[in-house]
Structure 1
Amino acid sequence: MIEMVIEQRRRSLGGGLDVGRVLPFGKRRMVGPFVFFDHMGPLDVAAGVDRSLDVRPHPHIGLSTVTYLFSGEIMHRDSVGSHQAVRPREVNWMTAGSGITHSERFEKARAEGDHLHGIQAWVALPEADEEIAPSFSHHAGDDLPQWTETGLRGQLIAGSAYGLTASARIHSPLFYVHLDLDAGASAEIPEGYAERAVYVATGAVEVDGARYEAGRMLVLGKDVSRVQAVQPSTVMLLGGEPLGERFLYWNFVSSSQDRLRQAAEDWKAGRMKLPDADDQEFIPLPDDPFLKPPAMS
């Protein structure tokens, strides 16, 4: 059975960049360790767009960000010295741990125009790893196992599934998969994980006898084993083992509210290093009171 259907809610990141936010949701904050899930685009960006479209420097703690594109290009810069473009079917994996700042720029779009479409997810860290040293890794090619079946093209983004393992270092059991399905094709949904979900990025699918259109995440019961495309579709499969309660404030994730307070104070006081000298126009801490629970739906 399907435990819950979550529809994306449109959110503006400023500068004309809107996303479809799926997680966190009021009645479902996480799926396994996945605590955040944004569907970016599809968005056509004209050459010469100004820098207001860029996501300015901002901080994170207690999580890993996972940036994955179907089309387009984003330039990542961070405070541990990384400067790396992410392109279609590649992964930028940034582990914030004790604290990192980064920016995401649309440099290719400014130069020649672009068609942006992808997903950014956040994976919460286990409590024992929340304060590890920040790090960044980029993955492409053989780092991300691919396979084909009749009417199906798959790529493993992170974790383990289908007897395969991706190269990004993870800190708790999880899987994250990209599938392109022809109309009528079906795919097995990985088993062996306590929590699982299907996100329909494009097209429409049938799961457990019902049809679901793009922009919906299906949180699955244990008995659901397959997804079938009713038209050409792009589908993301994700899940893993739950980590227990996590508190989320702005861009910070932690098992401790006191740690969130400290991170907010550090950012507001300018104690977190920015990515580079060209990234001084940063995103300020929101004005809403810290102790007010953030809206989740």
Structure 2
Amino acid sequence: MYEHKKIEEEILKFWGENGIYEKAKKKNAEGEPFYFCDGPPYATGQIHPGTGWNKIIKDSMCRYWRMSGRDVRAQPGYDTHGLPIEVKVEQELKIRHKNEIEKYGIGNFVEKCKSFATRYIGVMGKQFERLGVWMDWENPYITYKDSYINSSWLTLKMAWEKGLMHEGIYVLPYCYRCETTMANYELEYGEETDPSIFVKFRLAGRDNEFLVIWTTTPWTLVANMGVMAHPTFAYVKVKVGNEIWYLAKDRLDPLMGLIGASATVLEEIPGRKINGWEYEHPFQ
């Protein structure tokens, strides 16, 4: 019987005792350099399947280039800035509001965040090693270190000096509890059941002809500026009562069943033929 756990442990032990990773790097030291930039995971806990899968895919690429004779630089990284770690520490300290951080002491809170991150850098590193990933685990880049922060500022300075930066307007989510903007990937989503609606848009210059659209965000209709149609999908021109409707072919039967009406198909057209049609705003 194949005992994968036992075999994996034996291989890891062999690699460690014989310095196989170091030998592989030394063997290719004169090869063409290959720089691998490891997009860092947040050091907020133990790895999950997605984190492990991500790192294994990266390791597979690095191994390919090593076996191709390239001198691979594979420095792992850990992201230790931002809300994910702060929120975890707030949970540990049972902090519910931002003013409690000021009472605790901002400096103390920062050190607590660093301590939290450092602890899980060790945990995650060992778990990645257990997966058999070959990277420079003794020399990771860590975003809370001054050397990394100074490099980031230097990069911004160089970009500014080259005229690559400008001030503009960018819309971001805002968390009132955390009192800060958030990255889109920091949002947490829940499943919601929400009503959707079909809307008729009267075609300009045509008598009783309408585009039928479907939306789950009816509040956006006020500012509507366009209707999307897939260029290769099939659409139908149908007669419903004394009106002509244009809608996606696949949605005809569900819509008729929903409103309890019948339709006569007059023509089938590809979406690209709808391009350029003009319509009247539904609230016009």
What TM-score, normalized by structure 1, do the two folds share? 0.19
Q: Determine which structure has the larger helix proportion and give its number.
A: 2
Q: Determine which structure has the larger strand proportion and give its number.
A: 1
What TM-score, normalized by structure 2, do the two folds share? 0.20
Looking at CA atoms only, which structure, 1 or 2, has the larger radius of gyration? Answer: 2
Greater length-normalized contact order (CA 8 Å, ≥ 6 residues apart): 1
